[in-house]
Amino acid sequence: MDRRLFIKLAGTAAAVSALPAFGTAFAADPVKVGVLLPQSGPGGLFGPSCENAANLAVAEINDGGGVLGRMIEPVFADVGGPPSDANQAALKLWKGEKVEAFVGMHDSAVRGALTNLFKGQVPYIYTPVYEGGECSAGTFVLGETPAQQLEPVIPWMAANKGASKWYLIGNDYNWPRDTNAAAKGYIEASGGSVVGEEYLPFTADNFDSNLAKIKSSGADAVLITLVGGASVGFNRAFASFGLPDSVVRLGTLIEENTLAGIGAENSKNLFSSAGYFATIDTPAAAAFAEAYHGKFGADAAALNSLGESCYEGLKLLQAMAEKAGSLDVADLEKAAEGTSYDGPRGHATMSERHVSRDIFLAEADGAGFKVVETFPAVSAGKNCS
């Protein structure tokens, strides 16, 4: 063979052999994950910390080799508006951007719209505290349910704070109403009673009449399921009425951002129940906080349970996908039961599409929270049977 022809052919062969096979090239394509957050509306308060925490999770997962050998590419969308708008945003990502999985931190009305849109055709991890009962195909939940936030906590409040006459107040949608429906059973089981119940629009900004009702009801405890600005306004007004001296407050969506708005001077006898607080004193939580502030700076949006849930949502997606060996919904469905991972909240295990986890009861302590009780490995309850 002519020497020059041999060299040319050898070079061509080497170049061809250096090209990846089709399957390898496909595997190297990034996994687009839609991250659906409220960047506007009542939940907009939580958007910045959620976006930061999601980006931190993506960076860590990609540094470790990605998911199934593929890098994650997060694609963010604002779902802080009406469910119909959220559907349009998600549809654009799913069909237009070819997103292969979704992680969502938003309200329950939006979740209901999205499960109807997805119909089990794409993996969807829902991360925030919610009312329980979500069992749609392809949907996996890691947020706290009433069985976790209230069933162990209400008896503690009765035994340690004398809480027996409860007033329930929340915004007017399914999360507060369904949470309070469960709370009534826990209150009765602890020997207490409900002396009042109200639901307010998200736009409520004057709480004088509500506080007058609480005062006249004889309540010694208030369960608060108000969101964002409504919670801030209510709790500030609550203090101005002089109620904290005689009435204890328990919130299931009062985190660090909301507490900052309420103010230390208005937080006496204010408690919150959640799976995470920035002050949790564990190596995992400390490492998470160090990584978060190392990446985004000391002045970054405050760490809180909702932001942290976005971080865990991506970690759960990774754990399920690695166990299933696939991002296909059917494969994830088979692998989900018993999937476990370690995160800033501690060890978590999936059962019936939900996650069992430690629950922390914290009391407002100036500008932050002090954990006063830990309830280990609390089940999310019966949600899918």
Rounded Cα distance between 198 and 239, Å, is 19
Please give the Cα distance from 69 to 12 (Å, whole number).
29
Hey, what are 242's tokens? 């002089």
- Give per-residue burial for 135-169: e unless 16+ CB within 10 Å, then b: ebebbbbbbbbbbbbbbbbbbbbbeeeebbbbbbb
DSSP structure string for 57-114: HHHHHHHTT-BTTB-EEEEEEE--S-HHHHHHHHHIIIIIS---EEEE-S-HHHHHHH
> pLDDT 10s per residue in the chain (385 long)?
443 433 343 443 443 334 333 333 344 699 999 999 999 988 888 999 999 999 999 999 999 999 999 999 999 999 999 999 999 999 999 999 999 999 999 999 999 999 999 999 999 999 999 999 999 999 999 999 999 999 999 999 999 999 999 999 999 999 999 999 999 999 999 999 999 999 999 899 999 999 999 999 999 999 999 998 899 999 999 999 999 999 999 999 999 999 999 999 999 999 999 999 999 999 999 999 999 999 999 999 999 999 999 999 999 999 999 999 999 999 999 999 999 999 999 888 999 999 998 999 999 998 899 999 999 999 999 988 6
